[in-house]
């Protein structure tokens, strides 16, 4: 008697989550140290010490009725001001508390943004390969995901995007640094995308929103810069999460930025705040809002990701894997060693390697490797990767 939509979702399941559950079972069977679980984007570097220190200090010294109480649905004003100030310092923006809505992670923020703007049947473009939860976030509001096919180097396929824009196009979701490819889109390409969206918005007679999902902003390699989208395109909504930057995925804390330049700004902010409430989030978790108010400028130590990336790029390349070295996030997206990426990942499992088939990201023929694991896991896994590669050399 559950709904048909949910029944089919249960039957299809989330490949990544299924792997997560598999991983727990295999760890129990073979010992956790002998299972190389590269399946889930769960940070492996601890939060900065100031996170726990702040939480403890708040629990001890701020008035408990305020710390745990209801606040405006948009979140504590002082916290939003602190984040705005931090963004302004980093990106030369001019945000105030009024440009921010605290959300239950970026997933919460994206749902709030989509609830705010989508009419049933509205189309939302996404560049493949991508985090397929976007499909659910879009269909939650009866929107239609429209997939833009990838280029060979996973840069933005602007030609394909242009061809797919119709009068029903309401938004485009961009995720940079990208999950699953690790690509950071260049400022030149973002500029071209902004021009395209402006031109097409005029053509179809209404705004096309750019929704920037950027939980991986703080994880970049070799000093790559991640362009700040609101500086390129006025109708940008930014969904941010502290899940990766402060290693707090379980706490469900993030924010949505609605720049003052967005069309119908006042109404949009009000609507997003109402959406936050009626979707059942009500507000972002209060204690962690207050923690973020004190730690917005910090980030976890990302050196483990840098080291893992270096080892894996070097070793997997040596073994013959074909991939683009990630510029950000903690994912690699190599070609699978046989065309069927699911068969490849099933084979990998025989070597206790948990990898996610690219088709789970609308990127068949590839696999995703999440290197947010201990360096020891990476090192111990190499022998398995070697054996896996060897079976395809025979």
Q: How many CB atoms lie within 10 A of CB 17?
A: 11
Q: Residue holding tokens 């950000």?
A: 328
Q: Which residues ranging from 323 to 352 are in contact with its own copies (CB under 8 A)?
A: none
The interaxial angle of helices 49-61 and 286-295, nearest 10 deg, is: 120
| Interaction pattern, residues 49-88, with its own copies; x per rule: CB under 8 A | --xx--xx--xx---xx-xxxxxxx---------------
Residue 147, classed as helix, strand or coil, is strand
The single residue among 83, 124, 173, 275 that binds its own copies, judged by CB under 8 A, is 275
Check binding of 40 to its own copies (CB under 8 A). yes
Smallest distance from the beta carbon of 120 to its own copies, in angstroms?
Answer: 9
Smallest distance from the beta carbon of 22 to its own copies, in angstroms?
Answer: 12
The single residue among 157, 176, 212, 283 that binds its own copies, judged by CB under 8 A, is 283
Candidate ranges 78-86, 155-163, 215-223, 284-292; the one touching its own copies (CB under 8 A): 284-292
CB closer to its own copies out of 128 and 284? 284
Strands (E), the chain: 36-37, 100-103, 123-127, 144-148, 169-175, 209-213, 236-241, 254-257, 331-332, 353-354, 356-357, 367-370
Check binding of 247 to its own copies (CB under 8 A). yes
Count the residues of the shown chain that bind its own copies, applying the rule CB under 8 A.
85
Closest CA to 178 of 139, 129, 222: 129
Candidate ranges 226-234, 250-258, 320-328, 344-352; the one touching its own copies (CB under 8 A): 250-258
Enumerate the β-bridge partners of residue 220: 328
CB closer to its own copies out of 58 and 313? 58
* Residue 199, C-beta contacts closer than 8 angstroms, at least 6 positions apart: none
Q: Which residues ranging from 7 to 36 are in contact with its own copies (CB under 8 A)?
A: 7, 9-10, 13-14, 17, 20-21
CB closer to its own copies out of 268 and 327? 268
CB closer to its own copies out of 48 and 325? 48
Distance, CA of 165 to CA of 161 (rounded, Å):
7
The single residue among 32, 224, 278, 391 that binds its own copies, judged by CB under 8 A, is 278
The string of DSSP codes covering 212-225 is EE-TTTT-BSTT--
Candidate ranges 158-166, 177-185, 242-250, 338-346; the one touching its own copies (CB under 8 A): 242-250
Check binding of 356 to its own copies (CB under 8 A). no
Enumerate the β-bridge partners of residue 353: 36
Q: Which residues ranging from 287 to 306 are in contact with its own copies (CB under 8 A)?
A: 287-289
The single residue among 249, 325, 364, 365 that binds its own copies, judged by CB under 8 A, is 249
The side-by-side arrangement of strands in the sheet containing 169-175 is 100-103, 254-257, 236-241, 209-213, 169-175, 123-127, 144-148
The values of phi and psi at residue 123, to 5°, are -100, 140
Smallest distance from the beta carbon of 355 to its own copies, in angstroms?
Answer: 18
The single residue among 26, 84, 100, 107 that binds its own copies, judged by CB under 8 A, is 107
Q: Are 177 and 216 in contact (CB under 8 A)?
A: yes
Q: Which residues ranging from 144 to 203 are in contact with its own copies (CB under 8 A)?
A: none
Q: Are 130 and 150 in contact (CB under 8 A)?
A: no
CB closer to its own copies out of 44 and 147? 44
- Which strand (E) or helix (H) includes residue 52? helix 49-61
* Residue 8, C-beta contacts closer than 8 angstroms, at least 6 positions apart: none
The string of DSSP codes covering 178-195 is PTTT-----HHHHHHHHH
Closest CA to 37 of 333, 326, 373, 330: 373
* Residue 156, C-beta contacts closer than 8 angstroms, at least 6 positions apart: 127, 185, 189, 192, 193
Candidate ranges 5-13, 93-101, 154-162, 223-231; the one touching its own copies (CB under 8 A): 5-13
Smallest distance from the beta carbon of 110 to its own copies, in angstroms?
Answer: 7
Candidate ranges 93-101, 241-249, 355-363, 386-394; the one touching its own copies (CB under 8 A): 241-249
CB closer to its own copies out of 248 and 345? 248
């Amino acid at each position: 008697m559950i709904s048909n939509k949910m029944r089919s979702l249960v039957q299809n399941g989330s490949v990544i989550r299924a792997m997560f559950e598999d991983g727990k079972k295999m760890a129990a069977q073979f010992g956790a140290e002998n299972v190389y679980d590269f399946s889930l984007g769960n940070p492996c570097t601890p939060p900065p010490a100031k996170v726990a220190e702040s939480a403890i200090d708040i629990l001890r010294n701020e008035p408990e009725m305020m710390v745990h109480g209801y606040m405006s649905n948009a979140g504590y004003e002082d916290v939003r001001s602190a984040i705005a100030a931090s963004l302004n310092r980093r990106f030369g923006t001019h945000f105030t508390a009024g440009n921010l809505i605290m959300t239950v992670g970026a997933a919460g923020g994206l749902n709030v943004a989509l609830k705010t703007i989508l009419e049933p049947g509205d189309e939302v473009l996404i560049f493949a390969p991508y985090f397929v939860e976007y499909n659910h976030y879009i269909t939650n509001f009866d929107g239609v995901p429209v997939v833009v096919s990838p280029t060979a180097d996973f840069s933005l396929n602007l030609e394909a995007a242009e061809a797919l824009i119709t009068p029903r196009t309401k938004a485009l979701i961009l995720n940079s640094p990208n999950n699953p490819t690790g690509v950071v889109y260049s400022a030149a390409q973002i500029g071209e995308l902004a021009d395209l969206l402006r031109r097409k918005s005029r053509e179809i007679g209404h705004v096309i929103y750019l929704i920037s999902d950027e939980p991986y902003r703080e994880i970049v390699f070799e000093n790559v810069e991640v362009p700040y989208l609101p500086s390129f395109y006025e109708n940008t909504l930014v969904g941010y999460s502290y899940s990766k930057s402060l290693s707090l995925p379980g706490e469900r804390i993030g924010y949505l930025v609605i720049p003052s330049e967005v069309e119908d700004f006042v109404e949009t902010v009000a609507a997003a705040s109402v959406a936050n409430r009626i979707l059942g989030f009500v507000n972002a978790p209060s204690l962690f809002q207050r923690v973020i108010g004190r730690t917005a400028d910090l980030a976890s130590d990302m050196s483990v990701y840098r080291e893992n990336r270096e080892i894996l790029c070097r070793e997997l390349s040596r073994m013959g894997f074909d991939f683009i070295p990630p510029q950000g996030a903690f994912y690699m997206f190599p070609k699978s060693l046989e065309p069927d990426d699911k068969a490849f990942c099933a084979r990998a499992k025989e070597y206790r390697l948990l990898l996610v088939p690219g088709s789970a990201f609308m990127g068949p023929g590839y696999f995703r490797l999440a290197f947010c694991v201990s360096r020891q896991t990476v090192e111990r896994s190499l022998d398995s990767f070697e054996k896996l590669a060897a079976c395809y050399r025979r």
